[in-house]
Structure 1
């Protein structure tokens, strides 16, 4: 007769098998075979809506086995915000048209009878949101806590760590909230916020460099916000509400308004006013705007992005022994897309067409620069393994998904050996000063990562929050 000990031992070595057999006997699959349309409205807002992680290649976000992260260079877009004043003007004009209809709305717009606009007044345009589960300030704080968990080993708990923000109100507030999340109780004493002016005269010593010779501006200006399905949507809403009289442009503004609503509220009824196909069209219009106005479709943007890419390459080769381990930077969306263009990341083989949607397009801005989007460069220190040598490697992470660097994936976790990464990047980067005709009097290189303040005087706002606009809103 078996003893209790022998029974327990038998269970310990066969438990997993027994569980698997039990699943099979119940006709349950261990893995689902359903991979459906992967549809999410957050991927068709362009850069307007709440942050969402990038759809990944299935590569683990954690460091590869035998590797540790010894240096991090991150650049983050500010958190979720209200619409810009110019977009707000178009939205208000369309809303006025709806109110002027003086009717009880029906069909897809029935909710509009009781709906109120989520922007309290014009002062709030451009401001970071502070309400709702997708709030911009919450985004910054949560991101800081997540990176403390991921990269906290790079801070000794005592040193003062500089951070850098471009000189715009919502960008600075995002940096502050991120700092509070990362440093916790020590933020007031161990973080040193450096604010870098957005003035064009900063030249290359800037987080927001500009090109003085933007020859592609005409292409950008020629883009239209109208897609065929916008007309279909307008006809549907007019049929449901006779006399309404909305057109394709009104539909674009209503969809833009909807894409910002979740930044301030937990729920938007406007989302269901439009079909999935219409949202896909809207998202592609946003892709076109970023591609041709701030991305690889504008041939000057690679030169603009080369400023950051070149300086970060210097940091990686110096390593944490000569510089620091943590470099947290905060900017706008259109300061990140040029960096990706400079590195040749996600650039389509051909320019995006203006007359159709190219499915499989790698330049999907919902995956690239959502509100709160960020691009992180990791320097890995790896031990010898059976398939790779000991040494330093580079891994690129966009919105928490590992993005293999072009064709250089021979390192652990599909990373790129630092030496090879350096060679490739040096061959890619154009001359910013020459191509963009930087004035002689302006700085020709980025040096604030090496020359920075360690005071805490900018860590907090010193006065009340007034109207939200302003480039020097400390």
Structure 2
């Protein structure tokens, strides 16, 4: 596997990072706190549960995968926020805590926006998993149909996925990246199609930062007299722990080994990282999640494409679909058994919202609920993926006169309950929704968002 990755990663610039220390939190109960699972949307992919095969008597007939890009460097705006805190700390008169001593020689090493080696690796592994799990659906005349939104990190993620799929098949099947959808026009794999949408999530994030940030700001300012950090700097430094760590994973990294955590990580406590993760929860909830104004309608286009594939019928949509691409069988075929689409976190959250996944009451900006299901560290990591399986089950299995068809949805391997279409809560049939009931449950998408799309242009 290392040799396979070396060829893939040659396209990436090497990252030289010094002063990295293996490190993890230990709670008073001596349970290891998995730090990398507390970074919200900046957490690297982890399977939240083990994959559960379909019930006996059921065969998978089609698979639709929608996949977030892998781990990346920070964006331009994130880099500005990060460097503000770093520069202030390095301008301090002195350090009163040894945890800051590494800053005497620290040189900021990160680029911007591009996929990092860990992102390539996890995308490759995702492609391998897809082949091993669904190889019975693949023939020389029926290989996965792959699309990607046009941003570089999304395209590179899709290419690493196809390379992993090919490697797992001993290079018998190499699905090409067939369609790259421009983010300058209608694109169901992007969330910039609604001109009047003004996300409110930054307001909610700031309100929460004003709750948990001041004690951290005071502590770090006491450790670095004269730094004059503010709460926004704290958010940037917490992001840096995550971005610095995922960027430092070397070529040939053993997935079973501890991550090489950034020296910025020990500056914060377990509770502070949990608060930081809640910032991501608020951000996505109040943008394209259930709390976002017009967020749900951003996932209608993709959902209607999904329904078209499941029913082998033309796309019926008047929202964000590219009708030129979707009306052409070369760029939107309806006869494949595996489809893989690559996107960003915000549009994938919108798809969750459209479908009805993760229904969550309003998130409080002052007091998180520990048992909430809307936790981005589990549902929207780097390389997160939603898998929709179409299954045909023998008539005898459930006492029916004829074979029946079902839909099952998994997010990061967790079978979704699909209560909105009558799926069972427990047992081997957990999460299986009868096909027609699933189609009926998607009335919001089938009716172009019930008037919400027009509000995007009002």
> Is 2:320 the partner of 1:339?
no
CA distance in 2, matches of 1:176, 1:36: 41
Alignment partner, residue 467 of structure 1: none
RMSD of aligned alpha carbons = 2.8
| 1:70 counterpart SS class | strand
> Is 2:383 the partner of 1:372?
yes
What displacement does 1:238 show? 2.5
Deviations 1:81-115 (A, max 9, x none): 00001110111121111111153562432343344
Mapping of residues 422-437 of structure 1, within 5 Å: 422-426=439-443, 431-432=448-449, 434-437=451-454
Q: 1:38 to 1:154 in 2, by over 3 A?
A: farther
TM-score, normalised by the number of residues in structure 2? 0.77
What displacement does 1:179 show? 0.4
Alignment partner, residue 243 of structure 1: 226
Q: 1:312 to 1:231 in 2, by over 3 A?
A: same
What displacement does 1:299 show? 3.2
CA distance in 2, matches of 1:154, 1:438: 41
Alignment partner, residue 321 of structure 2: none
| 1:436 counterpart SS class | helix
Mark the runs of 5 or more structure 1 residues left unpaired by the alignment.
1-34, 441-474
CA distance in 2, matches of 1:369, 1:281: 16
| 1:246 counterpart SS class | coil
Of 159, 162, 183, which residue of structure 1 is paired with 2:145? 162
Alignment partner, residue 448 of structure 1: none
Which one is further off, 268-277 or 282-291?
268-277
> Is 2:323 the partner of 1:323?
no
Deviations 1:259-297 (A, max 9, x none): 212221232232221111111111111111111112111
Which one is further off, 408-417 or 372-381?
408-417
CA distance in 2, matches of 1:65, 1:160: 26
| 1:71 counterpart SS class | strand
Equivalenced residues, count: 389
Alignment partner, residue 393 of structure 2: 382
Which one is further off, 242-251 or 389-398?
242-251
What displacement does 1:396 show? 0.4
| 2:83 counterpart SS class | helix
Q: 1:175 to 1:218 in 2, by over 3 A?
A: closer
CA distance in 2, matches of 1:241, 1:43: 28
CA distance in 1, matches of 2:91, 2:54: 58
What displacement does 1:439 show? 9.7
The 8 Å contact of residues 105 and 112 in structure 1, kept in 2 or not, is answered as no
Deviations 1:165-216 (A, max 9, x none): 111111111111100111236489653431111123x2xx63225443545x
Alignment partner, residue 274 of structure 1: 268
CA distance in 2, matches of 1:409, 1:333: 27
Alignment partner, residue 181 of structure 2: 196
Alignment partner, residue 47 of structure 1: 41
Which one is further off, 81-90 or 426-435?
426-435
Q: 1:371 to 1:396 in 2, by over 3 A?
A: same
Mapping of residues 48-447 of structure 1, within 5 Å: 48-54=42-48, 56=49, 61-104=52-95, 106-119=97-110, 124-130=111-117, 135-157=118-140, 159=142, 161-184=144-167, 186=171, 190-200=175-185, 202=186, 206-208=188-190, 210-212=192-194, 214=196, 217=198, 219-225=200-206, 226-265=209-248, 266-318=260-312, 323-348=335-360, 350-385=361-396, 387=398, 389=400, 390-407=403-420, 408-410=422-424, 412-426=429-443, 431-432=448-449, 434-437=451-454
TM-score, normalised by the number of residues in structure 1? 0.75
Alignment partner, residue 6 of structure 1: none
The 8 Å contact of residues 159 and 190 in structure 1, kept in 2 or not, is answered as no
CA distance in 2, matches of 1:61, 1:238: 49
What displacement does 1:353 show? 1.3
CA distance in 2, matches of 1:311, 1:262: 36
Mark the runs of 5 or more structure 2 residues left unpaired by the alignment.
1-28, 249-259, 314-332
What displacement does 1:360 show? 1.4
CA distance in 2, matches of 1:118, 1:391: 55
Alignment partner, residue 21 of structure 2: none
The 8 Å contact of residues 109 and 237 in structure 1, kept in 2 or not, is answered as no
